[in-house]
Amino acid sequence: MNRTTLLIAAAATAVVATPALAKDRRTVPVYSDYNPYYLDYKTDISEAKRELRNDLRRAKDASSREDAWHEYRREVADAEHDFRKEMAERGMIVRRGRVTVEE
């Protein structure tokens, strides 16, 4: 076998093996920046906090402040739901910071 044939074979093997490796997400920590769904969650929380600060700054009365907090809590709950759903689709059940890997 010449060098070009070996390189092509190695590249083909990498392409075929990559989906299989990607399926085993248990090697990636759930609460780390290597997990794209956790990054999405952190981004959603950060955005909700920014919106809360802006809404509270613009609030003129107690009712406006309560509305801002209600919206913030709803957005946080939505982000948590989305994160748990994504992890569950990958066989990882997330409950109050605990992770269970389903076989």
- pLDDT at position 29 is 84
User: Which residues constitute the domain of residue 39?
Assistant: 25-101
CA within 13 Å, CB half, 34: 7
Please report whether residue 89 resides in a domain: yes
Residue 6 lies in a domain: no
Domain total of the chain: 1
Q: Is the pTM of this model over 0.75?
A: no
Specify the pLDDT at position 80.
94
Domain-located, residue 47 = yes
pLDDT digits (tens, 9 = 90+) for 13-68: 433 333 433 455 456 788 889 999 999 999 999 999 999 999 999 999 999 999 99
Q: What is the pLDDT of residue 8?
A: 44
pLDDT of residue 65: 97
Runs of H (alpha helix) within the chain? 3-23, 36-58, 62-89
In a domain, 20, yes or no: no
- Nearest-CA neighbor of 99 among 32, 47, 36, 45? 32
